């Protein structure tokens, strides 16, 4: 097993900004996920806490696709994360559970969430998949309803998706992902796009966003 020093040397650096412990959750490990989580809690989490205290890393947390693992981590005594990377769970298409159960605790503990996959595997912006599987008819109906309102207000779906995720004060950053360099320019433009308040009001009236979800000003 390589030492921390060897690993950093291979990366040609002497410190890391953030370390995410990935996929200690049910979608990856099934019914064994609690056992895997417990192994990480007694091993990786303890080590990462120490490395942060030593200044080798600035922060650590989970990198998962499910809310439950982050909820569990925040409920336990012991090693304390600085935040977590949560993919696909705080988007226009799927945000209720994270909003109701996770974000309040994240804020209460003074932490932050990095939102991954704000376009829900591309479903929000014209892709064929949601959660890495073909879009179901009910989900397609939801996407079509959001798109119709967006078109009525001249709003791009990328801008709607990115700005919705970032509107929650518990969200520190968003990672849209890019399949090619031109996508980065598109995402930057989407962040800067001006979205009228009436667009968000219409989404709320159509019950396409949770009644308590923070919306961009």
What domain range is 128 assigned to? Answer: 88-210
In a domain, 78, yes or no: no
* pLDDT for residue 1: 44
Q: What are phi and psi of 38, to 5 degrees?
A: -65, -35
Q: How far is CA 9 from the centre of its chain?
A: 30
Asked if 93 and 190 sit in the same domain, the reply is yes
Number of domains in the chain: 2
* pLDDT for residue 134: 97
In a domain, 179, yes or no: yes
In a domain, 113, yes or no: yes
pTM: 0.92
Mark which of 36, 66, 96 sits at the end of a domain. Answer: 66
Low-confidence ranges of the chain (pLDDT < 70): 1-2
Alpha-carbon torsion (165, 171, 177, 182), positive or negative: positive
In a domain, 81, yes or no: no
Asked if 59 and 95 sit in the same domain, the reply is no
* pLDDT for residue 2: 59
Asked if 109 and 170 sit in the same domain, the reply is yes
Beta-bridge partner residues of 41: none
Asked if 46 and 104 sit in the same domain, the reply is no
CB 204 within 8 A of CB 215: yes
* pLDDT for residue 136: 97
* pLDDT for residue 5: 79
* pLDDT for residue 157: 98
What span, in angstroms and rounded, lies between the C-alpha atoms of 62 and 158?
26
* pLDDT for residue 213: 97
3-state helix, strand, coil in the chain (%, to 5): 50, 15, 35
In a domain, 8, yes or no: yes
Asked if 105 and 16 sit in the same domain, the reply is no
* pLDDT for residue 188: 95
Q: How far is CA 96 from the centre of its chain?
A: 13
Asked if 56 and 158 sit in the same domain, the reply is no
CATH code: domain of residue 127: 3.20.20.100
CB 117 within 8 A of CB 177: yes
Which of 168, 149, 147, 155 lies closest to 212 in space, CA to CA? 168
Asked if 138 and 202 sit in the same domain, the reply is yes
Asked if 118 and 49 sit in the same domain, the reply is no
In a domain, 75, yes or no: no
């Amino acid at each position: 097993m390589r030492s921390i020093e060897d690993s950093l040397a291979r990366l040609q650096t002497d410190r890391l900004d953030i370390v995410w412990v990935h996929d200690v959750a049910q979608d990856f490990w099934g019914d064994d996920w609690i056992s895997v989580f417990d192994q990480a809690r007694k091993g990786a989490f303890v080590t990462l806490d120490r490395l942060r205290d030593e200044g080798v890393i600035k922060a650590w947390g989970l990198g998962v696709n499910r809310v439950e693992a982050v909820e569990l981590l925040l409920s336990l005594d012991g090693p304390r994360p600085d935040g977590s990377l949560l993919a696909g769970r705080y988007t226009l298409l799927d945000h209720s559970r994270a909003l109701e159960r996770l974000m309040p605790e994240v804020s209460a503990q003074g932490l932050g969430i990095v939102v991954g996959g704000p376009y829900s595997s591309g479903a929000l912006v014209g892709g064929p998949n949601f959660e890495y599987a073909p879009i179901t008819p009910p989900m397609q109906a939801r996407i079509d309803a959001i798109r119709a309102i967006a078109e009525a207000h001249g709003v791009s779906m990328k801008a709607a998706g990115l700005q919705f995720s970032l509107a929650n004060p518990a969200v520190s950053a968003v990672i849209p992902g890019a399949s090619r360099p031109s996508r980065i320019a598109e995402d930057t433009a989407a962040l800067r796009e001006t979205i009228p308040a009436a667009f968000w009001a219409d989404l709320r009236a159509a019950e396409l966003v949770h009644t308590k979800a923070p919306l961009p000003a």
